[in-house]
Amino acid sequence: MKKVDLYRAKLRSLNFWDDYLLSESGLPGPRGNLELAKAAALEGSKLHFTHWLTFTPEKAPANTPEEFLAFCGTLGLGKLICLGEGVYFAELRRLANDPRWRTREAVAMALQMIGVWDMEMLLTELEGWLAGSFLEQRAVAAGLCEPVLLRETTVSRRVLEILDHIMAGIEKSGNRKSSGFKTLRQALGYCWSVAAAALPEAGMKALEKWAGHPDPDIHWILRENLKKNRLVRLNREWVVAMLARL
């Protein structure tokens, strides 16, 4: 039995979950208990999720056990959307701007949950997020660039187009010292390699287009992706040539 399934069974045996989630959260520490969070999202109800989302940054600072409750609540919104409650997309978008990086990561995981369920709906929704903040764009990139979501050519092509759109925004951005910009840049430093590996010919062409751009942040993003083994395995000679261009 998988660890997530064991946690699901444990949660079903409890009347009150918070104490167990707090004690098994793994926080403070370098890694929260993702298996338990997934179990809580799968087993939990709207009542659970809305309660856990009351653990705001002020009430549950980063890297505390209480933040784990906010993580579980955020992930649970993905389940509610899968059940047809699309109204919670607005709350997910708000949480994409949360100052806690784990909560922002829960947003990306919730988007991936939705993508497995209905990728077309997810892509349509996220088009609107592209006009949002740097952190909202980061959620788009991190949420979509997951190999399990990129198994169809048409989907992979659209994701490459979305990354290209975000990259164009990087080119025009004048606010590069903000933490939001740095977080978006960090995400783009790996997301391109995931999308390019899913659709190599189109992905390599998209990256080649940006290699000729003089912007130093764009060059940093490209170099970070070219370090990834998934691209090296794809075409080592191409990677070497691209690095030489940069």
Residue 55 placed within a domain: yes
Kindly state whether residues 18 and 79 are assigned to the same domain.
Answer: yes
Assign 3 a pLDDT band (cuts: 50, 70, 90): very high
Question: Per the structure block, which two tokens stand in for 132?
Answer: 């949002």
Residue 102 placed within a domain: no
Kindly state whether residues 134 and 246 are assigned to the same domain.
Answer: yes
CA distances from 47 to 18, 186, 239 (A): 13, 34, 50
pTM exceeds 0.85:
yes
Kindly state whether residues 177 and 246 are assigned to the same domain.
Answer: yes
Average predicted confidence (pLDDT) for the chain: 97
Kindly state whether residues 125 and 46 are assigned to the same domain.
Answer: no
Region 129-146: mean pLDDT is 98
CA atoms of 220 and 186, how far apart (whole Å): 9
Cα Rg for the chain, rounded, in angstroms? 19
Kindly state whether residues 72 and 128 are assigned to the same domain.
Answer: no
Residue 91 phi, psi (nearest 5): -70, -40
Kindly state whether residues 124 and 226 are assigned to the same domain.
Answer: yes
Kindly state whether residues 49 and 141 are assigned to the same domain.
Answer: no
Residue 93 placed within a domain: no
State the total domains in the chain: 2
Residue 128 pLDDT greater than 90, yes or no: yes
Kindly state whether residues 78 and 123 are assigned to the same domain.
Answer: no
Kindly state whether residues 131 and 47 are assigned to the same domain.
Answer: no
CA atoms of 29 and 175, how far apart (whole Å): 32
State percent of the chain over pLDDT 90. Answer: 96
Question: Given this model, what pLDDT does residue 131 score?
Answer: 96
Q: Which domain holds residue 208?
A: 118-246
Q: Which residues fall within 8 angstroms of residue 34, CB to CB, at 6 or more apart?
A: none
Kindly state whether residues 128 and 218 are assigned to the same domain.
Answer: yes
Residue 20 placed within a domain: yes
Asked if 108 and 143 count as a contact pair (C-beta separation under 8 A), the reply is yes
Residue 170 placed within a domain: yes
Kindly state whether residues 200 and 241 are assigned to the same domain.
Answer: yes
Residue 91 placed within a domain: no
- Domain edge (last residue) among 86, 104, 136: 86
Q: What is the pLDDT of residues 72-126, one digit of tens each?
A: 999 999 999 999 999 999 999 999 999 999 999 999 999 999 999 999 999 999 9
Residue 98 placed within a domain: no
Residue 105 placed within a domain: no
